[in-house]
Amino acid sequence: MHQVLVIEDEPGIRAVLRVLLTAEGYRCIEADTALRAEIEARSHKPDLLLVDLGLPDGDGLKVIRRVRAWSPVPIVVLSARTMEEQKVAALDAGADDYITKPFSAPELLARLRAALRRVTHATPSAVLRFGDVRVDLARRAARGADGEIHLTPLEYRVLGCLARQLGSIVMQRQLIREVWGPGREDDSRSLRVCIKNLRAKLEPDPRQPHYLITETGVGYRLRADEDAA
């Protein structure tokens, strides 16, 4: 049973999360201040932190930085703050993902599973399924309903980088650094072209991406069908 530490000062939202998480089989620990959050994180060693950014005694970012200093525990932000800079700041501080309020319960649970999956299965699934398309990252082979699909080495690297954080946000800067190398972080054009090409090859409808999602101003998120073998 996974333990989730919910750091949220609004009792109503905490109650909703408690019901939702408990029903999914998580054990729910709660904290309503930044100070309490650190105490609970240290004493319970939860498997995941769900952090609100606006806390009565400080910013959730501070909690994230302080916990990150001693723990690799997955941290998911749940915040009403919707600005791109705020998402980037939270991810920079060490958060793994960012969900904006109001949230959808299935989406929240999917993101928590994704964040936990990274810890329990450190190596990503080698085969990803996107509808009719299957991509074998290890063998660098892809097939769709009409036969083989050719992906370039660069496209495999971008896909591999996104797949390591399957279901969670990967920052644009991180993608560029890992695929093109350091010093190119401001060159987002090559990445955009690569994403566009990947969508054309993998998405059922590239104009309305379902698997390769843009997080405006922040980065990208890769989803895959869960029954991939």
Nearest-approach distance from CB 55 to Ca ion, in angstroms: 6
Alpha-carbon gap, residue 117 to 228, rounded angstroms: 14
Q: Is 11 in the site for Ca ion (CB under 5 A)?
A: no
Task: Name which of 40 and 155 has its Cβ closer to Ca ion.
Answer: 40
Among 2, 3, 9, 214, binds Ca ion (CB under 5 A): 9
Among 11, 44, 54, 193, binds Ca ion (CB under 5 A): 54
Task: Name which of 35 and 149 has its Cβ closer to Ca ion.
Answer: 35
Q: Which residues contact 153 (CB under 8 A, 6 or more apart)?
A: 140
Q: How many residues bind Ca ion (CB under 5 A)?
A: 3
Alpha-carbon gap, residue 13 to 8, rounded angstroms: 7
Q: Which of residues 14-53 bind Ca ion (CB under 5 A)?
A: 52
Rounded to the nearest 5°, which phi and psi values hold at 175? -60, -45
Task: Name which of 54 and 72 has its Cβ closer to Ca ion.
Answer: 54
Q: Which residues contact 222 (CB under 8 A, 6 or more apart)?
A: 128, 159, 162, 163, 165, 166, 167, 170, 211, 212, 213
Sites of contact with Ca ion (CB under 5 A): 9, 52, 54
